[in-house]
Structure 1
Amino acid sequence: MSKASDPVSVSILDRDYQFTCEPGERNALKEAAFFLDERMREIKAAGKLMSLERVAVMTALNMADELLKSRRHEEQRQDRVDRRIVRLADELEDALNGAID
């Protein structure tokens, strides 16, 4: 038995789009569409007359760049956490070995 899909209508740059989504994902899709609409409006306002396609591509590139930077930042943070865990485990092992001796 397959799950029913929820129909969702969103507006991006004053154009309406119809989608379907998994049950319970409606709000997330609407939030994503609202975020995309805001970003596309920023790009459109900052540039000269651009086609919808160009605005969409520029927005996608900006968002992809932000995502990649965020991933790199998260990887660096995780590396710091991993190093700290190893250091604490070593200190704990040294302390336990000292208590046994």
Structure 2
Amino acid sequence: MEYLDIKLLGREYRVGCKTEEKDALQTAVNYLDEKMRDLADKTNSAGERLAVMTALNITHEFLQHQRSGGFDIPALKRRIEGINSRLDSALAEQEKL
């Protein structure tokens, strides 16, 4: 077990984590801090109220994503294929120059 010093809304905390999870935890901290700052700006909330509201919003986002079945992989593949096609066309035009 390792410790990671994190900062949320300017306040420092020390949390325990496994070494291999350190980067993922830092990513989560950054996401949470961004969400908390965004909500604080919009609602003028602070402290426990802000923490609960942020947790509720993140949970709602998670459940919506979970209910929708996650990502639409076929749509993402079509979009990537379209981007690749446009890149191929652009590169072909560049080769002609």
TM-score by length of 1: 0.66
**Residue deviations 1:8-47 (CA, integer Å, cap 9, x gap):** 0100000001011112111111110110000000000001
Describe how 1:52-67 pairs up with structure 2 within 5 A: 52-67=47-62
Gaps of 5+ in 1: 78-101
Identity of aligned residues (%): 35
**Structure 1 counterpart of 2:16:** 20
Determine whether 1:44 maps to 2:40: yes
**Structure 2 counterpart of 1:6:** 2
Structure-2 separation of matches of 1:62 and 1:17: 22
What is the alpha-carbon root mean square deviation over aligned residues?
Answer: 1.3
**Structure 1 counterpart of 2:86:** none
**Structure 2 counterpart of 1:30:** 26
Gaps of 5+ in 2: 73-97
- Deviation at 1:52? 1.2
Structure-2 separation of matches of 1:39 and 1:69: 17
Question: What code does the residue aligned with 1:24 have?
Answer: E
TM-score by length of 2: 0.69
